[in-house]
Amino acid sequence: MITFEHVTFFYPDRPLPALRDISLQITAGEFVLLVGASGAGKSTLLRLINGLAPHFTGGQLRGRLSVHGLDPVLATPQIMSRHVGFVFQDSEAQFVTDRVEDELAFALEHAALPAPAMRLRVEETLDLLDLARLRNRSLDTLSGGERQRVAIAAALALHPSILVLDEPTSQLDPQSAEDVLTALVRLNSDLGLTIVLAEHRLERVLPFVERLIYLAADGNSMVSGDARSVLHQIDLVPPLVQVGKALGWEPLPLTIKAGLRFSQMMVNVPAPSSSPPPQPIQPSPTVLQVKGLTVQIDTCTVLHAVDLTMRAGEIVVIMGRNGAGKTTLLRSLVGLVRPQRGDVQIQGRSIAGRTVAEICRQVAYLPQDPNTLLFADSVRDELWITLRNHGLETKPNAGQVIDNLLATLRIAALAEHYPRDLSVGERQRTALAAILVTQPQLILLDEPTRGLDYAAKDQLAGLLKGFARAGKAVILVTHDVEFANGLADRVVLMSQGEVIATGSPAEVLSPSPFFAAQVARLFPGTTWRTVEDVLVGVCTSGQATNCGG
Amino acid sequence: MKNPLHPLTWALWLLADLVILSMTRNPIYLGLTLCWIAVISVAIHWAGIAVNPQRLLAPFHFGLVVVPLAALINALNVHIGVTVLFVLPRALPLIGGPITLEALVYGLLNGLILTCIYTAFALVNQVLSVRAMVGLIPRAYYPLAIVVTIALTFAPLTLRQLQAIREAQAIRGHRMQGIRDWLPLFLPLLLSGLERSLQLAEAMTARGFASTQAQSQHRVARLGLVLGLASIVAGLWLHLVGPSASAGSLLTFSGIASVVGGLWWIGRGQARTVYRPTPFQRQDWLVATAALCPVLLFLLPLFDRTSLFYYPYPTLSLPEFNLIYGMATWGLLGPAFLPLRRSIA
């Protein structure tokens, strides 16, 4: 179905190839997962399949390519669109019209399908992705997951035999991401559609993929094969596989169910009491105090009597469904939303009557889309601009502060780069630098793990832990269960604008079927939540085979 | 309930409105026209075609502001007329001089015409979706239609983006004081807009959209378009200043025919279909014909036309009323009968 023979691809004006000497073969009906760090050439490989590269991007191609018996370069993307459906990362930017039905009909109208056939085709496609009840909705009223399902439906309207998706869930919360991935699994198993998917969230799709293709960071080497054999060779794997690999479980479990078979056979799993006791909380100064915060937006109560206290050095994770009021809570802490009742005190001072700019000298707030923050010509300029906004640029040690911060965030080498050319993770750290340069004591982050791969997530977690050790208080809103479990000192669970539970991750998250980490599900009855917990715990009880590494 | 009229019918209705509004300044005919627009607004709201009553009423609120404002501006600027209400000191630039009742009334009529135009457009905007309006663009201009669709869906997206960027800059301590402070908002907006356009272009390419078409076979039709437009202009010129009005009319009409024919011919060559096409039905013929009647009556010199040309200067007089023209405005009422159709069906 898809054949690459020694394919090398250069983007215009780049000395190094984005892909080098790639050879692979994908047969009809296969579900192929493409993984690799950001910048490894995943998007390029996908765009070669339907001819977008080089037709849209420009560039130079060597080697031979064949898709559905056609050469995508000779055939042009227009012809390839009949055989290959393509779904992009950002669901919002790929729509032409404003209504679900019209969006599905767009490509069909363009292909001049007769009206009755078109009617039938739209109905089929709506049912295929379970969109029938949304058919008349305006696209901007849909949730992220629904929008991405519309994008998939629109790509399938022309009845392609191959569906290519470029990180379709990276902008979505886990529930929406699951919906999308479940839909893909169904399309593959029911229709025999060939699917090529680039994706960071391996947890959900691993059990269903027939083949895993791993691209190394420089686009130079590639590992391809069935999921288990490739997982053995790469580091970008979910916690379940990490545990399996470390403890030598064979065959490598891809689902919790398979993993439980191994974990339950293990004897001497330490009882909960043997885990390290929680460290006594030192009386550190209060950084944030929220009392009875109530917010109404358009007669709808979004937050109801929320109380929250944070001390220096604490990391608090706020979790809950979409629309539970998490983002509104963060926004009201910096004055972007003004409460009807209640008060917010930051380092003992109420924020009432202060402007957002003033409050943000004490609080760093990273919104969901860090791109909105960035506009300067270089990373270093971004930091200077923030200082100038606050009238701090004349301070004697300002240059030193900037250099230190860039080094801490590991973007010192990028200081003179243009921020929008950086990878997602680097751009996020640049945005962080731009708001942290005033040295605030409170850091708020909204969904910081969106679009990050495992390596970038680890890096972010390390940074946040460092900030906490330096005495700052960190609040983050996330749907990322593994990230929350690995990082949180305290978890706040919200629903319908109210705080419904608060406590340590072990108390709040582990018992929950939805928020428990993979490790907690593998070892119920322990307080283990991360791979490190398991390795430390198991090695001290001395039963693992390969503890040394 | 879905809008049961063809978009073209609404467009014709709107055109008829505009023709009448441009032909007369008689307050009675203007008042009648506004009245019928209001009746249709209520009727389609009642029929559940337009669902947002607030947006239906808003244009009439607009009238409440515009009519007095237009009257005031005209009275302050135009100092002709016999009935002097009071005199402003002549030392005042522009507004100094006698303030007359005639100027006030003339301004009032201007405001009334503006209100009629605005409410008519607002009404059509309420009943027609973006898609239906784009469908009115001739098929020969399919790429243009796509561009319009995208522009219309981009606008709200850009507004939301601007809001997000404004907040993001406030977070970085940005304070809005002068014009220069807009730069940090404008740049990210422009950049993200460009990025989004590129993404959309890529997505559309991936979905088979390409605007490259073999254009050569349309050469004759294109020539017809150009010649048609030229003969319309020449015809109008002959009609206005030239010696032969009838030759002018002939030229104009043949020009229009040539343009319509040319567009049809080019459109025929576009291999494209329409999802859920709206058929032009009996009620469309009825409404369109009804709207055409007042247009013909107002345009053609069939009856005594003096009542159309109401002019308050120099002395205010009561407007004349000709029953034929008054009745003719009834032709605009067609869309008001849509709810009836539902109860019959």
* Residue A123 pLDDT level (bands cut at 50, 70, 90): very high
Helices A239-246, A256-265: inter-axial angle, 10-degree rounding: 30
Average pLDDT over residues A43-53: 91
Say whether pLDDT at A318 is over 90.
yes
Cβ distance A86 to B206 less than 8 Å, yes or no, reads yes
d(Cα A199, Cα A35) in Å, to the nearest integer?
A: 6
Number of Cβ pairs closer than 8 Å across A and B? 162
d(Cα B65, Cα B62) in Å, to the nearest integer?
A: 5
Q: Is residue A277 part of a domain?
A: no
The residue ranking higher by pLDDT, A20 or B339, is A20
Closest-CA distance of chain A to residue B264, Å? 17
Q: Which residues of B touch A101 (CB under 8 A)?
A: 275-276
Cβ distance B196 to A390 less than 8 Å, yes or no, reads no
Residue in chain B lying closest to A55 (CA): B205
Closest by Cβ to A375, choosing from B170, B187, B208: B187
* Residue to test with chain B: of A55, A79, A110, A358, most B Cβ within 10 A: A110
B168 to chain A, any CB pair closer than 8 A? The answer is: yes
* Residue A307 pLDDT level (bands cut at 50, 70, 90): very high
Say whether pLDDT at B333 is over 50.
yes
Residue in chain A lying closest to B150 (CA): A96
Distance of CA A541 to the CA centre of its chain: 35
Closest-CA distance of chain A to residue B5, Å? 19
Q: Is residue B147 part of a domain?
A: yes
Residue in chain B lying closest to A79 (CA): B208
d(Cα A352, Cα A231) in Å, to the nearest integer?
A: 53
Closest by Cβ to B206, choosing from A81, A113, A122: A81
d(Cα B22, Cα B15) in Å, to the nearest integer?
A: 11
B191 to chain A, any CB pair closer than 8 A? The answer is: yes
Average pLDDT over residues B223-239: 83
pLDDT of residue B50: 65
Q: Do residue B97 and residue B224 come from a single domain? A: no
The residues, any chain, with a CB within 8 Å of residue A72's CB and separated by 6 or more, are A48, A49, A50, A51, A65, A80, A84
Say whether pLDDT at A269 is over 70.
no
Q: Is residue B176 part of a domain?
A: no
B179 to chain A, any CB pair closer than 8 A? The answer is: no
Give the N- to C-terminal CA distance of chain A in Å, as an integer: 42
pLDDT of residue B216: 52
Q: Is residue B198 part of a domain?
A: no
Q: Give the residue from A177, A203, A236 where a domain finishes.
A: A236
pLDDT of residue A549: 41
Residue in chain A lying closest to B155 (CA): A98
pLDDT in tens, B90-102: 888 888 889 999 9
Average pLDDT over residues A490-509: 91
Q: Which residues of A touch B210 (CB under 8 A)?
A: 76-78
Average pLDDT over residues A302-319: 93
* Residue to test with chain A: of B129, B272, B275, most A Cβ within 10 A: B275
Question: Can you tell me the ipTM of this complex?
Answer: 0.83
The residues, any chain, with a CB within 8 Å of residue B199's CB and separated by 6 or more, are A88, A90, A93, A94
Q: Which residues of A touch B174 (CB under 8 A)?
A: 357, 389
pLDDT of residue A278: 54
Say whether pLDDT at A275 is over 50.
no
pLDDT of residue A543: 54
Domain that holds residue B263: 216-269
Q: Do residue B141 and residue B30 come from a single domain? A: yes
> Cβ(A103)–Cβ(A109) under 8 Å?
no
Domain count, chain B: 2
Q: Do residue B127 and residue B229 come from a single domain? A: no
> Cβ(A490)–Cβ(A308) under 8 Å?
no
- The closest alpha carbon to A49, from A157, A164, A195, belongs to A164
Q: Is residue B201 part of a domain?
A: no
Q: Do residue B249 and residue B324 come from a single domain? A: no
Cβ distance A158 to B207 less than 8 Å, yes or no, reads yes
Q: Do residue B260 and residue B115 come from a single domain? A: no
Helices B245-269, B219-240: inter-axial angle, 10-degree rounding: 160
> Cβ(B127)–Cβ(B44) under 8 Å?
yes
Q: Which residues of B touch A438 (CB under 8 A)?
A: 173
Q: Is residue A249 part of a domain?
A: no
Q: Give the residue from B269, B303, B330 where a domain finishes.
A: B269
B22 to chain A, any CB pair closer than 8 A? The answer is: no
pLDDT in tens, A424-450: 888 899 999 999 999 999 999 998 988
CB atoms within 10 A of CB A291: 15
> Cβ(B121)–Cβ(B128) under 8 Å?
no
The residue ranking higher by pLDDT, A530 or A273, is A530
pLDDT in tens, A223-261: 899 888 999 888 878 889 999 999 888 889 988 899 999
Closest-CA distance of chain B to residue A114, Å? 6
Q: Do residue B13 and residue B142 come from a single domain? A: yes
Average pLDDT over residues B82-96: 87
The amino acid sitting at B49 is I
Say whether pLDDT at B104 is over 70.
yes
> Cβ(A45)–Cβ(A58) under 8 Å?
no
Q: Is residue A10 part of a domain?
A: yes
d(Cα A289, Cα A349) in Å, to the nearest integer?
A: 9
pLDDT of residue A452: 81
Q: Is residue A254 part of a domain?
A: no
* Residue B242 pLDDT level (bands cut at 50, 70, 90): low
* Residue A220 pLDDT level (bands cut at 50, 70, 90): confident
Residue in chain B lying closest to A101 (CA): B275
Going from the C-alpha of A135 to that of each of A105, B48, B212, the distances in angstroms are 11, 19, 31
Closest by Cβ to A434, choosing from B146, B172, B195: B172
CB atoms within 10 A of CB B345: 6
* Residue B1 pLDDT level (bands cut at 50, 70, 90): low
Q: Do residue A218 and residue A313 come from a single domain? A: no
Q: Do residue B110 and residue B230 come from a single domain? A: no
pLDDT in tens, B132-162: 877 787 777 777 777 777 777 777 778 888 8
B206 to chain A, any CB pair closer than 8 A? The answer is: yes
Say whether pLDDT at A204 is over 80.
no
* Residue to test with chain B: of A55, A87, A96, A113, most B Cβ within 10 A: A96
Lowest-pLDDT range of A344-353, B38-47, B50-59:
B50-59
pLDDT of residue B53: 65
The radius of gyration of chain B from alpha carbons, rounded to an integer in Å, stands at 25
Q: Do residue B90 and residue B56 come from a single domain? A: yes
Say whether pLDDT at A518 is over 70.
yes
Q: E strand or H helix at A344, and its extent?
A: strand A341-346
Give me the residues paired with residue A366 across strands.
Answer: A445
Cβ distance A96 to B200 less than 8 Å, yes or no, reads yes
Closest by Cβ to A357, choosing from B170, B208, B210: B170
| Burial class (CB within 10 angstroms; exposed 0-12, middle 13-18, buried 19+) of B247 | middle
Q: Which residues of A touch B213 (CB under 8 A)?
A: none
Q: Which residues of A touch B152 (CB under 8 A)?
A: 98
Q: Is residue B189 part of a domain?
A: no
Q: Do residue A215 and residue A303 come from a single domain? A: no
Q: Which residues of A touch B52 (CB under 8 A)?
A: none
> Cβ(A254)–Cβ(A506) under 8 Å?
no
Q: Give the residue from A195, A219, A236 where a domain finishes.
A: A236
Q: Is residue A167 part of a domain?
A: yes
Q: Which residues of B touch A90 (CB under 8 A)?
A: 199
Q: What is the DSSP letter of A93?
A: G
Q: Do residue A301 and residue A437 come from a single domain? A: yes
Average pLDDT over residues A453-457: 82
d(Cα A483, Cα B116) in Å, to the nearest integer?
A: 60
Cβ distance B156 to A140 less than 8 Å, yes or no, reads yes
Q: Give the residue from B206, B235, B269 where a domain finishes.
A: B269
Q: Do residue B32 and residue B144 come from a single domain? A: yes
Alpha helices in A206-322 (DSSP H): 227-233, 239-246, 256-265
pLDDT in tens, A338-390: 999 999 999 999 999 999 999 999 999 999 888 888 888 899 999 999 998 88
Q: Say what percent of chain A tops pLDDT 70.
A: 95
pLDDT of residue A197: 95
Q: Do residue B236 and residue B298 come from a single domain? A: no
d(Cα B44, Cα B38) in Å, to the nearest integer?
A: 10
Q: Which residues of A touch B182 (CB under 8 A)?
A: none
Closest by Cβ to A375, choosing from B173, B188, B206: B188
Closest by Cβ to A115, choosing from B192, B195, B275: B275
pLDDT of residue B54: 66
The residues, any chain, with a CB within 8 Å of residue A449's CB and separated by 6 or more, are A457, A460, A478, A480, A483
Cβ distance A158 to B208 less than 8 Å, yes or no, reads yes
Q: Do residue B85 and residue B43 come from a single domain? A: yes
pLDDT in tens, B57-67: 778 888 899 99
Cβ distance B206 to A154 less than 8 Å, yes or no, reads no
Q: Is residue A388 part of a domain?
A: yes
Cβ distance A93 to B168 less than 8 Å, yes or no, reads no
Please tell me the pTM assigned to this model.
Answer: 0.78
Cβ distance B277 to A154 less than 8 Å, yes or no, reads no
Q: Do residue A298 and residue A203 come from a single domain? A: no
Q: Say what percent of chain B tops pLDDT 90.
A: 23
Q: Which residues of B touch A337 (CB under 8 A)?
A: none
Q: Which residues of B touch A119 (CB under 8 A)?
A: 275-276
* Residue A274 pLDDT level (bands cut at 50, 70, 90): very low
pLDDT of residue A402: 92
Residue appearing with tokens 């977070």: B171
Lowest-pLDDT range of A165-179, B28-42, B48-62:
B48-62
pLDDT of residue A335: 92
- The closest alpha carbon to B7, from B117, B131, B119, B116, belongs to B131
Indicate which CATH number applies to the domain containing A70.
3.40.50.300
For chain B positions 209-228, those within 8 Å of chain A (CB to CB) are 209-210
pLDDT of residue B132: 80
Closest-CA distance of chain A to residue B61, Å? 23
Q: Is residue B245 part of a domain?
A: yes
Closest-CA distance of chain B to residue A252, Å? 38
pLDDT of residue B344: 42
Q: Is residue A539 part of a domain?
A: no
Cβ distance B273 to A93 less than 8 Å, yes or no, reads no
Residue in chain A lying closest to B146 (CA): A96
pLDDT of residue B66: 92
Residue in chain A lying closest to B169 (CA): A373
- The closest alpha carbon to A464, from A320, A276, A317, A283, belongs to A317
Residue in chain B lying closest to A104 (CA): B275
Q: Do residue B226 and residue B114 come from a single domain? A: no
pLDDT of residue B280: 85
Residue in chain A lying closest to B193 (CA): A93
- What is the per-residue DSSP string for A198-236? E-S-HHHHGGG-SEEEEE-TTSS-EEEE-HHHHHHH-S-
Domain count, chain A: 2
Q: Give the residue from A236, A255, A278 where a domain finishes.
A: A236
Q: Is residue B30 part of a domain?
A: yes
The residues, any chain, with a CB within 8 Å of residue A275's CB and separated by 6 or more, are A526, A527, A528, A533, A537
Cβ distance B199 to A93 less than 8 Å, yes or no, reads yes
Q: Do residue A169 and residue A110 come from a single domain? A: yes
Backbone angles phi and psi of A151, in degrees to 5: -60, -40
Q: Is residue A256 part of a domain?
A: no
Q: Do residue A292 and residue A192 come from a single domain? A: no
Q: Which residues of A touch B203 (CB under 8 A)?
A: 86, 88, 93-96
Token pair in block for residue A121: 């085709």
3-state secondary structure B254-303: HHHHHHHHHHHHHHHHCCCCCCCCCCCCHHHHHHHHHHHHHHHHHHCCCC
Q: Say what percent of chain A tops pLDDT 90.
A: 42
For chain B positions 141-160, those within 8 Å of chain A (CB to CB) are 146, 149-150, 152-153, 156-157
Domain that holds residue A293: 286-518
The residues, any chain, with a CB within 8 Å of residue B265's CB and separated by 6 or more, are B218, B220, B221, B224
pLDDT of residue A542: 58
Average model confidence (pLDDT) across chain B? 83
Q: Is residue B140 part of a domain?
A: yes
